[in-house]
């Protein structure tokens, strides 16, 4: 069996190039906002991975394994829990980003995978400006990839206070159920809630979830959420209040947000406020796979094929000059196979170097799109290609 395990994928050719481009774009945006890179192990102690979040759906889906010493280990399911170690003794605010694979042992669907590349950014010791800049990074990522998206915000602290006013107990359960509305629909969530909550209180709860932000003015957490929305507008953002945004992980303690698009049911990115070593932090994760699926970009890298007809020394010398100009160069000494390869790889310019070209001290350049050929001196050739 050489097929990949269900939920895992290979990426090659144009798809791999697109993912590489997006990754570099995301990384460059993180860096200009002052975030520094970090790398962490894929495998950790199982207890460290689980933390205090045993009942969270994502934690229940971790991949578990044992080493030869029979130690209980697990693959990381996200990067946030590892911040507990990274942030120790760091000068605040500690702003880090990380891009790499994470793993979930969960059912596979069209846009859900068991291994995916997560792009994560967090601030430990976050001020209101730090939080707004975190939102600005995902806004600019979507904008640069031409993804039409909306940032939807809420506050778990505010919703805790509002739900408590309805005399509903087990608020953590209620928030986990609210988070499932997008996936399962209101009817299914209401039915699940009837096991623990009286029907009249469920009716009041769902009425609450239709209220505008101004309605929640009297509840704890409103002020911080309103400040975040107002500060974000200074960055050109227009966050939209959605009281049904709860996030599935219980460690969130204040503002939460998700980035959504009409083109996909699943969220593009999600995150919020949480404590790391009793210090307030704020951040999010976004999946490279979903960004790649939604990105409306056309890669335009400069690719050249040089065909050497018994002139390898001259061909190699020219190839190295072009590569120093960041031109992607492939080489061949077989004309027909080289042209076929160039077409298959969308290489639209081919340079021929043979005895005729050497005599004339020029190179033959063929445009593979139009078929047009011209003889050019080396300087003119390089200038035209660059």
Q: Domain containing 369 — which CATH number?
A: 3.40.50.800
Average pLDDT, integer, range 343-352: 90
Domain identity same for 237 and 332: no
Between β-strands 328-332 and 363-367, what pairing exists: parallel, antiparallel or unpaired? unpaired
Encode pLDDT of 63-79 as tens digits: 999 999 999 999 999 99
Q: What is the pTM of this model?
A: 0.88
Tally of domains in the chain: 2
Q: What is the pLDDT of residue 54?
A: 62
Last residue of a domain, one of 267, 294, 321: 294
Contact at 8 Å (CB) between 91 and 59?
no
Encode pLDDT of 90-149 as tens digits: 999 999 999 999 999 988 877 778 999 999 999 999 999 999 999 999 999 999 999 999
Domain identity same for 199 and 315: no
- Residue 56, pLDDT > 80, answer no
Q: What is the pLDDT of residue 51?
A: 82
Encode pLDDT of 149-175 as tens digits: 999 999 999 999 999 999 998 888 899
Q: Is residue 258 part of a domain?
A: yes
Domain identity same for 96 and 245: yes
- Residue 248, pLDDT > 80, answer no
Q: How far is Cα 308 from Cα 19, in angstroms, rounded to an integer?
A: 32
Domain carrying residue 288: 13-294
Domain identity same for 104 and 192: yes
The region of weakest confidence among 89-93, 210-214, 263-267 is 263-267
Last residue of a domain, one of 246, 268, 294: 294
Last residue of a domain, one of 273, 294, 315: 294
Q: Is residue 270 part of a domain?
A: yes
Q: What is the pLDDT of residue 147?
A: 97
Domain identity same for 323 and 252: no
**Three-state SS at 134:** helix
Q: What is the pLDDT of residue 88?
A: 96
Q: Is residue 324 part of a domain?
A: yes
Encode pLDDT of 194-207 as tens digits: 988 999 999 999 99
Domain identity same for 324 and 227: no
Q: What is the pLDDT of residue 331?
A: 93
Domain identity same for 137 and 156: yes
Q: Is residue 357 part of a domain?
A: yes
Q: Is residue 254 part of a domain?
A: yes
Domain identity same for 91 and 227: yes
Domain identity same for 280 and 331: no
Contact at 8 Å (CB) between 162 and 213?
no
Average pLDDT, integer, range 363-385: 90
Q: What percent of the chain has pLDDT over 90?
A: 76
Domain identity same for 117 and 255: yes
Contact at 8 Å (CB) between 369 and 348?
yes
Encode pLDDT of 289-322 as tens digits: 999 999 999 887 789 999 999 999 999 999 999 9
**Three-state SS at 180:** coil
Domain identity same for 337 and 320: yes
Q: How far is Cα 351 from Cα 30, in angstroms, rounded to an integer?
A: 39
Domain identity same for 30 and 158: yes
Q: Is residue 1 part of a domain?
A: no
**Three-state SS at 131:** helix
Encode pLDDT of 38-54 as tens digits: 999 999 999 999 887 66
Average pLDDT, integer, range 177-195: 90
What CATH number does the domain containing 209 carry?
Answer: 3.30.930.10
- The token duo for 304 is 């050249």
Q: DSSP letter for 164, please.
A: H
Q: How far is Cα 142 from Cα 131, in angstroms, rounded to an integer?
A: 17
Q: Is residue 277 part of a domain?
A: yes
Q: Is residue 54 part of a domain?
A: yes
* Residues pairing with 118 in the sheet: 100, 287
């Amino acid at each position: 069996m050489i097929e990949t395990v269900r939920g895992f994928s290979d990426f090659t050719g144009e798809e791999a190039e697109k993912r590489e481009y997006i990754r570099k774009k995301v990384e460059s945006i993180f860096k200009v906002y002052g975030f520094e890179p970090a790398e962490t192990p894929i495998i950790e102690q199982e207890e460290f991975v689980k933390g205090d979040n045993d009942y969270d759906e994502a934690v229940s889906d971790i991949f578990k394994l044992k080493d030869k010493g029979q130690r209980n280990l697990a693959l990381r399911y996200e990067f946030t829990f590892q911040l507990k170690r990274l942030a120790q003794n760091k000068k605040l605010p500690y702003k880090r980003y990380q891009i790499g694979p994470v793993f979930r042992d969960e059912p596979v669907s069209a846009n859900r995978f068991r291994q995916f590349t997560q792009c994560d950014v967090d601030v430990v010791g976050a001020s209101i400006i730090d939080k707004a800049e975190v939102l600005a990074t995902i806004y600019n990522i979507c904008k640069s990839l031409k993804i039409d998206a909306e940032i939807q915000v809420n506050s778990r602290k505010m919703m805790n206070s509002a739900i408590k006013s309805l005399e509903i107990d087990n608020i953590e359960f209620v928030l986990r159920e609210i988070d499932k509305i997008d996936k399962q629909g209101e009817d299914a969530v209401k039915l699940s809630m009837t096991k623990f909550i009286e029907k009249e209180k469920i009716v009041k709860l769902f009425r609450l979830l239709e209220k505008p932000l101004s309605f929640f003015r009297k509840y704890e957490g409103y002020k911080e959420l309103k400040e975040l929305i107002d500060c974000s507008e200074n960055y050109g953002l227009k966050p939209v209040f959605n009281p049904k945004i709860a996030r599935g992980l219980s460690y969130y303690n204040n503002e939460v947000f998700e980035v959504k698009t009409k083109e996909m049911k699943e969220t593009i990115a999600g995150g919020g406020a949480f404590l790391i070593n009793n210090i307030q932090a704020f951040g999010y994760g976004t999946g490279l796979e979903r960004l790649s699926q939604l990105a409306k970009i056309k890669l335009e890298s400069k690719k050249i094929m040089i065909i050497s007809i018994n002139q390898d020394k001259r061909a190699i010398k020219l190839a190295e000059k072009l590569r120093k100009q960041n031109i992607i160069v492939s080489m061949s000494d077989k004309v027909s196979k080289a042209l076929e390869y160039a077409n298959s790889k969308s290489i639209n310019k081919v340079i021929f170097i043979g005895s005729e070209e050497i005599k004339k001290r020029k190179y033959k350049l063929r445009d593979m799109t139009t078929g047009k050929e011209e003889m050019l001196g080396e300087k003119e050739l390089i200038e035209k290609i660059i």
